[in-house]
Every structure is written in structure tokens, then in C-alpha cells.
């Protein structure tokens, strides 16, 4: 059963990747002739024809599609219209900055979210719970670009303790990372809280209590590992939110990552770069979803056996 | 691909859930009040706005809000072109509300139809639909939207369609599940044996039964739509000037943060208050209307 469970996940991941590639190809072709977009309006027709030959645009659509897929598999993602460099290089050189920001944001999401959720569940119904859940609603409803702007207004302009934009030091990372992580922290806190509450009502928690275990021991050794299973999956699924959030946050704080590149490339209609980023994101999402599925099957063997996705 | 996980109800929702037999709490009333206000402002924008949102007065540029030393002819101050911030805020609210409403309508209609189709035809049609649902759910929608905007350029119509496509997969998945469930129930079977046309069965018998859950889904999706539109407009890739929207106002105000923060911040506050109100009211509505999502807290 386990092998077929993994196989079905791999298959679905591959289908998603294939759809992403087809999506990119279709919009790329529907958008019109990339050559005439790239060259000036008064270019002689024979030059245009020459370029169309180079890019294989004179061939039939199915053939173009196959060549396109083949090119992708060989790492050929096309060339940036702006400076003629390979699109993959243009994108990859931005990746480290986005990874730093994403990791920091993800750290804030998980640490704040899980801690707030556990505390809220243990102190259920008290002002602590209400405050934690108030924070969760706040994080969930606050648009990240507005949160970032308010932070810049307060910390960079009024009190002048943090740099308002750019990169280079740990101080530069603080505001973007908090902005990126805070929304996710809210939903993780809500989720951890309800997951903890569910576990705290289980018979084995009563048993642990009857055995005379200390509260701290009960919570850390018995409740948290059981409550962690769904939370870990949700954390994995937050990645999409981090990727989308990075686009906005990098723009607000002028952080030189992939997100900022995407916004500029869209503005300049640099199609090859946009397409490369879309495919890269799709690949990341598929990999992470797969890891989440595997982790879920591993943490909760019941699921791998039945292959059922439970909420 | 994606595990179906619903965000659990929150603390405020819990407290109102306990008051299930009573009315909504004070917080929910405040939220509903704010939402009514926003809708009224959107409807009566022409009457309420003291100036046209494009009207410039270059002599009174960057005036601060009246309480901070400006004058009362511009209660919230003016922007870099001498346009009245209050008037722009009112029209921006209208634009953002219209887009989110239209987007909800499109997404709910398309998603529900597709969900019905999946449940009705089963077989390969259902498989194809579910693969597409998976695909949409596994790609961050903002990225897909940016790609489409890069390829097709920007127009209000395209933008509406894009915003409308957000969330169709949730409606499709929910509808399919509910219809499959309903199809297995006796009432649907009974009507079908009477020889009623399937479309009639779905429209007149099953749809009314699942409508409340779909409405809850709309309220859950609505804040995301507002955030999607405002994010894109903020990035300069959504609503284009001279039109205005809440996100665009905040985006334009960003370059004036040091000198005239009042250009953008009011728009940000309106966005925040609106998404907050819908989230809280939506959670409350969910507790009321959707018995299947009852949380474990009770």
C-alpha cells in the first residue's frame, strides 16, 4: 500500500508540473509574437523572419510545444528580453536573497504561531487566550503591504532604529521577515490551538494525568507530538503563502529577491523571466507538497495505509 | 496534492458560538455595522464625495488632514497633485468593493457549476476537473495572476476575470462533495425516480439544500479577494490610474511616506477594517449556518 501511496503522489506532482509548463507555453504563445515585441517597430521583415527561425517560431504549434518542453528539460528557459542573458541565470542569482527572507519569515511564522497556539489552548477562555486569538485575527486580516508600510513609518522614519529598505545586515532583515511571517503566524496559531484542544481531550491525556505526571511533562511529551501532526502539514502548505507574500514584501522593502524581479519583469513584459519564475515556483510547490505528503504518511501511519486524506 | 484543511474557528467565533441561541455579540455587530457603512459609501460615492476624485488643485498640494493643521475643506488632506484624499478614498472604496463583489460572483458561479458537472458526470470529466482543482490549489495564485498580466497586459475586464477565477477551486471542491452526498440521499433519489430532469433536480432541490454552505464559502473567500485586488494594485499591476482603488492609493502614498503619510494610510486602514470585519462576521456566520464545521471546543 505504501508504495502505491507514494506513487500516486509522485504522479500528481508530475501532472501539476506538466500543467504548469503547458500553461506557461500557452500564455507565452497567445501573448503574440515575442520577436515583434522584442524588436523595434521599424525592423525590416527579413530580420524578423531570421529571428523567428532562430527561435523556431516558423514551425507548427505542436512542434514548437515539443521543442519547448525538450528545451526546458535541458535547462533552456529562453533569454531575458532586457539584457539578453539566459533567463535561468537572471532568476537563479536572485534566489539566495529570497531564500534568506523566506527562511526568516517561515521561522517567525512557525515559532510565534505554534507558541501562541499552545499557550492559547492551555489557557483557554482566559485573557491570554483572547489576546492570542486577537493577535491571530489581526495577523490574518492585516494586508502585508500595509503592515510593512506602518512598520517603515514607525521604526524607520519616526524612531529611526531600523533601515527602511535594502539588504546587507541583520537589521535589514528584521522588518521584512516580520512582515512576511506575521500573517502566517496568525493562521498557524489558530490551527495549533484547535489541534491542541482536540488532543487535550483525548483519553490518553486523562491517563497521563491519572499516572501523576507533571503538567509540563504531560504537555511536552504527550500533547505536543500528537497535536504536531496536522500543524506540520499546514506549515508545509504555508509555503505558497510565503512565496506569494515574498512578491509583495520584497517590493515594499526593496529586497533584491525573486519576488521583486517578478514584479519588474511583469512590468517590462520580460516573458522569459516571468515564465522561468512560474516554473521554478511550480517545481518548488510540487516538491514541498510531496515532502508534506510523505511526512504526513510517516507521522501518521494510518494515513499511508488507507491513503485517505483527512482533515 | 493538497490536504483539505479548514481553518478552525477563532476565539471570537467561539464566544459567539456559545451564544448560538442568542444574537450576535457586540463585536459582530460592530463588524456588520462597518460592512454596511462600506457598502453604503460604495453605493453613494457620487453623493458623498466632496470633490471629483481626479480634481486637482495644484495650489493646495500635500495639505495635512484637518485635525493636524490642515483646513476643513480637505478633512483628510490632499495628495501630491492636490487631490482631496477623502474623495479619493470614497471612490477607491467603491472600486475595491465592486471588484471583490464581481469577483465573488464569477468565482462562485464558475466553481459551483464545475462542481455540479464533476458530481453529475463522474468518470474522466470528474478526474480532469479534480486535477485542475489540484493544480490551482497548489500554485500560489498571485504568481499565476502576475504571469497572465505579463503576457496579456492590463485591462479592467481581464483584471475582473482574473480576480473572479480566484477561489473557483474551493467552490468546485465543496460543491462536488456536497452534491455527491446529496445524490446519495433519499430525497434526490425519490425526485429522480419521478422522472424529473437532472438540471431541475440540481437547481430546485439540491442547490437550495447546499446554498447556506456556499454562502459561508463566499464570506471566507471575500477577504482574500480584497487582498488580491489591493495587493496587485499596490504593486502597480492592478487598477491603473486615473482609476483608483484602495491598494493603488496605498501604493501611490508609499513614495510620499516621509512627507505625506496621510496619502496612503487611510486606504490601508479601510482595507484592514474591511477584511477584519468580514473575517469575524464570516466565522460567526459559519458557526450559525454550517453544522458540519462545528469545532471541537464545545
Query: Which residues have a Cβ under 8 Å from the Cβ of A268 and sit 6 or more positions away?
Result: A81, A82
Angle at B89 between CA A243 and CA B216, to 5 degrees: 55
Report the pLDDT value the prediction gives residue A38, as an integer from 0 to 100. Answer: 66
Say if residue A57's pLDDT is above 90: no
Report the pLDDT value the prediction gives residue A2, as an integer from 0 to 100. Answer: 66
How far, in Å, CA of A128 to CA of A120, rounded? 6
Mean per-residue pLDDT, B236-247: 87
Chain B positions in Cβ-Cβ contact with residue A15 (cut-off 8 Å): 131, 134-135
At residue B256, the 3 state secondary structure works out as coil
Measured in angstroms, the CA of A168 and the nearest CA of chain B are apart by 22
Report the pLDDT value the prediction gives residue B246, as an integer from 0 to 100. Answer: 92
Say which of A24, A130, A311 has its CB closest to residue B4: A311
Chain A positions in Cβ-Cβ contact with residue B161 (cut-off 8 Å): none
Number of H helices, E strands in chain B: 13, 0
CB pairs under 8 A between A and B: 185
Report the pLDDT value the prediction gives residue B14, as an integer from 0 to 100. Answer: 46
Query: Which residues 211-240 of chain B have a CB within 8 Å of chain A?
Result: 223, 227, 230-231, 234-237
Q: Any idea what DSSP says for residue B65?
A: P
Say if residue A48's pLDDT is above 60: yes
Q: CB neighbours (10 Å) of residue A40?
A: 6
Chain A positions in Cβ-Cβ contact with residue B279 (cut-off 8 Å): 137, 140-141
Of the candidate ranges A194-208, A249-263, B284-298, the one whose mean pLDDT is the lowest: B284-298
Q: Is B155 on the interface with A (CB under 8 A)?
A: no
Task: Mutate one of A82, A137, A192 to test the B interface: name it (highest B CB count within 10 A).
Answer: A137
Average pLDDT of chain B is 82
Looking at chain B, how many residues does it have? 298
How far, in Å, CA of B229 to CA of B214, rounded? 22
The answer to whether A285 contacts B139, with C-beta atoms less than 8 Å apart, is yes
Chain B positions in Cβ-Cβ contact with residue A270 (cut-off 8 Å): 150
Q: Do A190 and B7 meet the contact criterion of CB atoms below 8 Å apart?
A: yes
Exposure of B230 in the CB half-sphere (CA atoms within 13 A): 30
CA B208 to chain centre: 23
The answer to whether B138 contacts A134, with C-beta atoms less than 8 Å apart, is no
User: pLDDT tens across A172-208, in order?
Assistant: 999 999 999 998 898 899 889 988 988 888 888 888 8
Q: Is the pTM here over 0.95, yes or no?
A: no
Chain A positions in Cβ-Cβ contact with residue B231 (cut-off 8 Å): 143-145, 248
The answer to whether A240 contacts B139, with C-beta atoms less than 8 Å apart, is yes
How far, in Å, CA of A195 to CA of B162, rounded? 35
Which residue of chain B comes nearest to A282, CA vs CA? B139
pLDDT band at A295 (very low <50, low <70, confident <90, very high): confident
At residue A214, the 3 state secondary structure works out as coil
Say if residue B7's pLDDT is above 70: no
Report the pLDDT value the prediction gives residue B5, as an integer from 0 to 100. Answer: 42
Say which of A20, A263, A271 has its CB closest to residue B139: A20
The answer to whether A237 contacts B131, with C-beta atoms less than 8 Å apart, is no
Report the pLDDT value the prediction gives residue A27, as an integer from 0 to 100. Answer: 73
Report the pLDDT value the prediction gives residue A76, as an integer from 0 to 100. Answer: 82
Task: Mutate one of B18, B142, B266, B292 to test the A interface: name it (highest A CB count within 10 A).
Answer: B142
Which residue of chain B comes nearest to A238, CA vs CA? B140
Q: Do A158 and B257 meet the contact criterion of CB atoms below 8 Å apart?
A: no
Which one is predicted more confidently, B18 or B49? B49
Q: Do A274 and A261 meet the contact criterion of CB atoms below 8 Å apart?
A: no
Report the pLDDT value the prediction gives residue B293, as an integer from 0 to 100. Answer: 53
Mean per-residue pLDDT, B152-178: 86
Say which of B134, B143, B152 has its CB closest to residue A31: B152
Of the candidate ranges A101-115, A159-173, B56-70, B232-246, the one whose mean pLDDT is the lowest: B56-70
Report the pLDDT value the prediction gives residue A293, as an integer from 0 to 100. Answer: 78
Say if residue A81's pLDDT is above 80: no
Q: Do B11 and A128 meet the contact criterion of CB atoms below 8 Å apart?
A: no
Q: Is B5 on the interface with A (CB under 8 A)?
A: yes
The answer to whether B10 contacts A187, with C-beta atoms less than 8 Å apart, is no
The answer to whether A266 contacts B146, with C-beta atoms less than 8 Å apart, is yes
Say which of A124, A146, A277 has its CB closest to residue B268: A146
User: pLDDT tens across A270-291, in order?
Assistant: 888 888 998 898 888 888 888 8
Chain B positions in Cβ-Cβ contact with residue A105 (cut-off 8 Å): none
Burial classification of residue B274, based on how many CB atoms lie within 10 Å of its CB (0-12 exposed, 13-18 middle, 19 or more buried): buried
Which residue of chain A comes nearest to B136, CA vs CA? A16
How many percent of chain A have pLDDT more than 90?
Answer: 23
Residue A79, phi then psi, degrees to nearest 5: -120, 145
Angle at B260 between CA B244 and CA A143, to 5 degrees: 55
Q: Do A239 and A80 meet the contact criterion of CB atoms below 8 Å apart?
A: no
Report the pLDDT value the prediction gives residue A306, as an integer from 0 to 100. Answer: 55
Q: CB neighbours (10 Å) of residue A279?
A: 21
Which one is predicted more confidently, B158 or A52? B158
Which one is predicted more confidently, B277 or B74? B277
Which residue of chain A comes nearest to B274, CA vs CA? A141
Helix ranges, chain A (H):
2-30, 34-38, 45-54, 61-73, 87-92, 95-122, 127-141, 144-151, 170-200, 203-210, 215-217, 224-237, 239-252, 258-268, 271-299, 301-306
pLDDT band at A260 (very low <50, low <70, confident <90, very high): very high
Q: Is B280 on the interface with A (CB under 8 A)?
A: yes
How far, in Å, CA of B212 to CA of B174, rounded? 12
Report the pLDDT value the prediction gives residue B46, as an integer from 0 to 100. Answer: 87
Q: Do B242 and B234 meet the contact criterion of CB atoms below 8 Å apart?
A: no
Say if residue A210's pLDDT is above 50: yes
Report the pLDDT value the prediction gives residue B13, as an integer from 0 to 100. Answer: 42
The answer to whether B143 contacts A13, with C-beta atoms less than 8 Å apart, is no
User: ipTM, 2 decimals?
Assistant: 0.82
How far, in Å, CA of B154 to CA of B246, rounded? 18
Query: Which residues 98-117 of chain B have a CB within 8 Å of chain A?
Result: none
User: pLDDT tens across B273-284, in order?
Assistant: 999 999 888 888
DSSP string, A220-249: IIIIHHHHHHHHHHHHHHTHHHHHHHHHHH
Report the pLDDT value the prediction gives residue B277, as an integer from 0 to 100. Answer: 93
Measured in angstroms, the CA of B44 and the nearest CA of chain A are apart by 26
- Smallest CA-to-CA distance from B49 within B69, B25, B74, B31 is with B74
The answer to whether B11 contacts A130, with C-beta atoms less than 8 Å apart, is yes
Chain B positions in Cβ-Cβ contact with residue A24 (cut-off 8 Å): 147
What is the sign of the dihedral through the CA atoms of A117, B142, B165 and B155?
Answer: positive
Which one is predicted more confidently, A308 or B196? B196
Amino acid at each position: 500500500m505504501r508504495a502505491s501511496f507514494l506513487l500516486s503522489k509522485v504522479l500528481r506532482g508530475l501532472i501539476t508540473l506538466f500543467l504548469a509548463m503547458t500553461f506557461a507555453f500557452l500564455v507565452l504563445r497567445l501573448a503574440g509574437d515575442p520577436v515583434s515585441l522584442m524588436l523595434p517597430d521599424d525592423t525590416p521583415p527579413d530580420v524578423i523572419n531570421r529571428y523567428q527561425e532562430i527561435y523556431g517560431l516558423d514551425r507548427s504549434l505542436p512542434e514548437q510545444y515539443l521543442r519547448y518542453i525538450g528545451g526546458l528539460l535541458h535547462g533552456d528557459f529562453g533569454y531575458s528580453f532586457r539584457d539578453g542573458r539566459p533567463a535561468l541565470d537572471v532568476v537563479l542569482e536572485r534566489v539566495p536573497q529570497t531564500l534568506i527572507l523566506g527562511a526568516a519569515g517561515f521561522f517567525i511564522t512557525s515559532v510565534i504561531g505554534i507558541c501562541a497556539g499552545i499557550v492559547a489552548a492551555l489557557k483557554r477562555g482566559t485573557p491570554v487566550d483572547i489576546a492570542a486569538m486577537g493577535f491571530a485575527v489581526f495577523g490574518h486580516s492585516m494586508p502585508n503591504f500595509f503592515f510593512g508600510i506602518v512598520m517603515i513609518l514607525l521604526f524607520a522614519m519616526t524612531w529611526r532604529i531600523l533601515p527602511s529598505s535594502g539588504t546587507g545586515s541583520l537589521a535589514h532583515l528584521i522588518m521584512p521577515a516580520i512582515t512576511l511571517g506575521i500573517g502566517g503566524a496568525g493562521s498557524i496559531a489558530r490551527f495549533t490551538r484547535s489541534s491542541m484542544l482536540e488532543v487535550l481531550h483525548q483519553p490518553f491525556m486523562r491517563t497521563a494525568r491519572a499516572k501523576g505526571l507533571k503538567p509540563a511533562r504531560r504537555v511536552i511529551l504527550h500533547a505536543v507530538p500528537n497535536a504536531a501532526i496536522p500543524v506540520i502539514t499546514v506549515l508545509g502548505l504555508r509555503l505558497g503563502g510565503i512565496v506569494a507574500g515574498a512578491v509583495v514584501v520584497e517590493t515594499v522593502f526593496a529586497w533584491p529577491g525573486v519576488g521583486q524581479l517578478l514584479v519588474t519583469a511583469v512590468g517590462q513584459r520580460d516573458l522569459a523571466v516571468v515564465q522561468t519564475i512560474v516554473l521554478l515556483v511550480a517545481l518548488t510547490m510540487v516538491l514541498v507538497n510531496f515532502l508534506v505528503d510523505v511526512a504526513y504518511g510517516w507521522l501518521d501511519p494510518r494515513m499511508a495505509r488507507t491513503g485517505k486524506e483527512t482533515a | 496534492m493538497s490536504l483539505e484543511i479548514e481553518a478552525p474557528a477563532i476565539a471570537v467565533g467561539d464566544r459567539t458560538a456559545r451564544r448560538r441561541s442568542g444574537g450576535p455579540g457586540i463585536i459582530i455587530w460592530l463588524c456588520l455595522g462597518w460592512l454596511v457603512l462600506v457598502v453604503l459609501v460604495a453605493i453613494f460615492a457620487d453623493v458623498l464625495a466632496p470633490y471629483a476624485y481626479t480634481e486637482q488643485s495644484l495650489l493646495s498640494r500635500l495639505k495635512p488632514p484637518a485635525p493636524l493643521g490642515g483646513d476643513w475643506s480637505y478633512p483628510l488632506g490632499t495628495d501630491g497633485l492636490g487631490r482631496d484624499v477623502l474623495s479619493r478614498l470614497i471612490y477607491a472604496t467603491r472600486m475595491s468593493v465592486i471588484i471583490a463583489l464581481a469577483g465573488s460572483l464569477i468565482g462562485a458561479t464558475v466553481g459551483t457549476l464545475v462542481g455540479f458537472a464533476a458530481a453529475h458526470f463522474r468518470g474522466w470529466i470528474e478526474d480532469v476537473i479534480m486535477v485542475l482543482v489540484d493544480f490551482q490549489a497548489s500554485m500560489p495564485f498571485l504568481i499565476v495572476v502576475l504571469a497572465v498580466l505579463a503576457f496579456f497586459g492590463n485591462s479592467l475586464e481581464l483584471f475582473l476575470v482574473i480576480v473572479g477565477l480566484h477561489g473557483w477551486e474551493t467552490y468546485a471542491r465543496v460543491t462536488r462533495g456536497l452534491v455527491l452526498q446529496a445524490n446519495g440521499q433519499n430525497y434526490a433519489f425519490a425526485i429522480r425516480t419521478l422522472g424529473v430532469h437532472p438540471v431541475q433536480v440540481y437547481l430546485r432541490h439540491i442547490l437550495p439544500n447546499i446554498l447556506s454552505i456556499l454562502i459561508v464559502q463566499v464570506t471566507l473567500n471575500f477577504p482574500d479577494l480584497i487582498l488580491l485586488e489591493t495587493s496587485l494594485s499596490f504593486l502597480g499591476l492592478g487598477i491603473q490610474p486615473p482609476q483608483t482603488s484602495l491598494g493603488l492609493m496605498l501604493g501611490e502614498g508609499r513614495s510620499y511616506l516621509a512627507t505625506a503619510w496621510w496619502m496612503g494610510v487611510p486606504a490601508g486602514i479601510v482595507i484592514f477594517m474591511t477584511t477584519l470585519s468580514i473575517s469575524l462576521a464570516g466565522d460567526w456566520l459559519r458557526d450559525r449556518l454550517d453544522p458540519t464545521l462545528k469545532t471541537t471546543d464545545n
